[in-house]
């Protein structure tokens, strides 16, 4: 049994991670800020992590063996309007946690993003230089650098994932399902490529990476590249909605505040070599997402806040 501290435990990744890791009989302390969790098996803590002294106090009180730092300002367009907040939370906070973790010999995992690349070529390998296009992406890259400067033993996972969240609105997949259920037609970008991973597959991959004590930067995304349009159509098909509800559109048609990288397909060979196995296929992840829906998991999550 390992003692985990998971930040962002009210967020899309952090909550799914805290629930699943707790279910695997580890001890989990989950930190949320404005939306503390209730009726959860893990120990729920409310904290504003950027407040002076908070990180050191929590690490002293809890003494975790592993920190998985998921908390962030993760809304790409919000970061454009609040660049100072994005800098504080996405760049400086991870650095502070990394310093505090290193001095206490705590393993740190920093959750980063595929968006650190400009998306001009795709199939990026970890050794290639990122070139972020937005405030979000720049501040997340700053977070990676601050963590690895302070703590070279840390693991930085560049992720892209989907799943169910406490608000029902945090992931693109939820947005598609909500729109389809309301009978609405939505736009799916045909010119934005990514490699979505179901959040439960990401949870398993992160736990395995911790067990193997992986260090440095790893791409932790799904093994298959697709456009957002194809992703939307796949979800419609799986959930029994008319795939025509997703209409082809271009990201360059406007309306988005932050610049988006067009091709965020990432190469995962470094990860699969370290794990000694392939990553779960997209269809298997989508089936898990659908099974959770059929079993009322989205409603269960909403009842936890
Ligand atoms: N969603 C994606 O597909 C995606 C893609 C690439 C990378 N990522 C990365 O994955 C990680 C998780 O993303 P997510 O989508 O799960 O984010 P999310 O749903 O927006 O959740 C963000 C979490 O951070 C917490 N938080 C923010 N500021 C905080 C502060 N000052 N003190 C304490 N907690 C704070 C929030 O707490 P409260 O809500 O309680 O205030 C919330 O729990 C992030 O690092 C993100 O950059 C996400």
CA of 32 to the centre of ligand 1 (A): 9
Domain that holds residue 73: 3-167+195-224+265-282
Question: Which of 42, 72, 147, 170 to mutate for ligand 1's pocket (most ligand atoms within 8 Å of CB)?
Answer: 72
CA nearest ligand 1 atom 7, residue: 113
**In this predicted model, what pLDDT tens digit does every residue of 31-47 receive, in sequence order?**
999 998 988 999 999 99
Q: Establish if 147 belongs to a structural domain.
A: yes
Q: Establish if 14 belongs to a structural domain.
A: yes
Q: Establish if 155 belongs to a structural domain.
A: yes
Tell which atom from ligand 1 comes closest to the C-alpha of 50.
31
Question: Which of 9, 29, 33 to mutate for ligand 1's pocket (most ligand atoms within 8 Å of CB)?
Answer: 33
Q: How confident is the model at residue 16, as a pLDDT? A: 97
Q: Establish if 89 belongs to a structural domain.
A: yes
CA nearest ligand 1 atom 26, residue: 71
Which residues, in sequence order, are bridge partners of residue 87? none
Q: Establish if 114 belongs to a structural domain.
A: yes
Specify the pTM. 0.97
Q: Establish if 244 belongs to a structural domain.
A: no
Q: Establish if 241 belongs to a structural domain.
A: no
> Which residue ranges in the chain fall short of pLDDT 50?
none
Q: Establish if 248 belongs to a structural domain.
A: no
Domain count, the chain: 1
Q: How confident is the model at residue 55, as a pLDDT? A: 98
Residues with CB under 6 A from ligand 1: 7-8, 10-14, 32-35, 47-50, 70-72, 74, 89, 111, 113-114, 140, 159-161, 165, 170-171
Whichever domain contains 148, its CATH number is 3.40.50.720
């Amino acid at each position: 049994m390992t003692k985990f501290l998971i930040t962002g435990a009210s967020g899309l990744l952090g909550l799914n991670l805290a629930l699943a890791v707790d279910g695997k009989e580890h001890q989990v302390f989950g930190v949320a800020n404005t939306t503390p969790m209730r009726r959860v098996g893990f120990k729920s803590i409310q904290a504003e992590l950027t407040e002076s002294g908070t990180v050191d106090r929590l690490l002293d009180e809890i003494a975790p063996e592993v920190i998985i730092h998921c908390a962030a300002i993760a809304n790409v367009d919000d970061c454009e309007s609040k660049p100072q907040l994005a800098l504080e939370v996405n760049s400086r906070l991870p650095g502070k946690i990394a310093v505090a973790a290193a001095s206490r010999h705590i393993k740190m995992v920093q959750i980063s993003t595929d968006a650190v690349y400009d998306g001009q070529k795709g199939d990026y390998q970890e050794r290639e230089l990122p070139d972020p296009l937005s405030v979000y992406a720049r501040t997340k890259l700053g977070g990676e650098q601050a963590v690895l400067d302070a703590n070279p033993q840390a693991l930085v996972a560049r992720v892209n994932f989907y799943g169910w969240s406490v608000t029902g609105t945090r992931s693109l997949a939820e947005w598609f399902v909500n729109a389809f259920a309301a009978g609405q037609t939505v736009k799916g970008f045909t010119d934005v490529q990514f490699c979505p991973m179901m959040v439960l597959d990401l949870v398993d991959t992160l736990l395995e990476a911790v067990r193997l004590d992986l260090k440095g930067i790893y791409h932790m995304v799904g093994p298959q590249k697709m456009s957002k349009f194809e992703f939307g159509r796949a979800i419609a098909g799986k959930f029994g909605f008319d795939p025509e509800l997703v209409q082809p559109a271009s990201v360059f048609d406007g309306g988005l505040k932050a610049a988006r990288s067009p091709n965020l397909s990432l190469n995962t060979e470094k990860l699969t070599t370290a794990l000694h196995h392939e990553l779960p296929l997209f269809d298997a992840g989508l089936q898990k997402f659908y099974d959770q829906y059929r079993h009322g998991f989205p409603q269960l999550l909403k009842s936890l806040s």
